[in-house]
Amino acid sequence: MFILITYDINVTSKNGQSRLRKVAKICVNYGQRVQNSVFECKVTEAELLKIKKKLEDVIDKETDSLRFYRLGNNYDKKVKHIGAKQTYKFDDPMIL
C-alpha cells in the first residue's frame, strides 16, 4: 500500500530538534522524502502499524502532530508534481 506521512514537530519545545531528527530517520527507512516533512512510503499493513508505533513513541503528543494518508495503488495518477525535488516511482527499477 502507498501512504503519505506528514509531520509537524515543535522545534522550539524541549528536545524538539532531537525529535525532528528521529522522526525523519524513521520515515526515511520506509520511504522517500518528497518535501521537508513529507514522505511517500510503500509499506504493508504490518509495516504501517510498526511505523505508527515508532513515531508515536518519539513525538510529544502535546506539541507535535503526525498525519497518515492512504494513497491507494494508483497513487502516481493522483499525485501531480511541479517544481524541484523530482522523486522516483517505487515500482521503477533503480540503477545505482
> Can you give the pLDDT at residue 67?
97
> Can you give the pLDDT at residue 76?
65
> Can you give the pLDDT at residue 56?
97
Distance between CA atoms of 65 and 59, rounded to whole angstroms? 8
Which whole number is the average pLDDT over 39-67?
A: 96
| Cβ–Cβ under 8 Å, residues 6 and 66 | yes
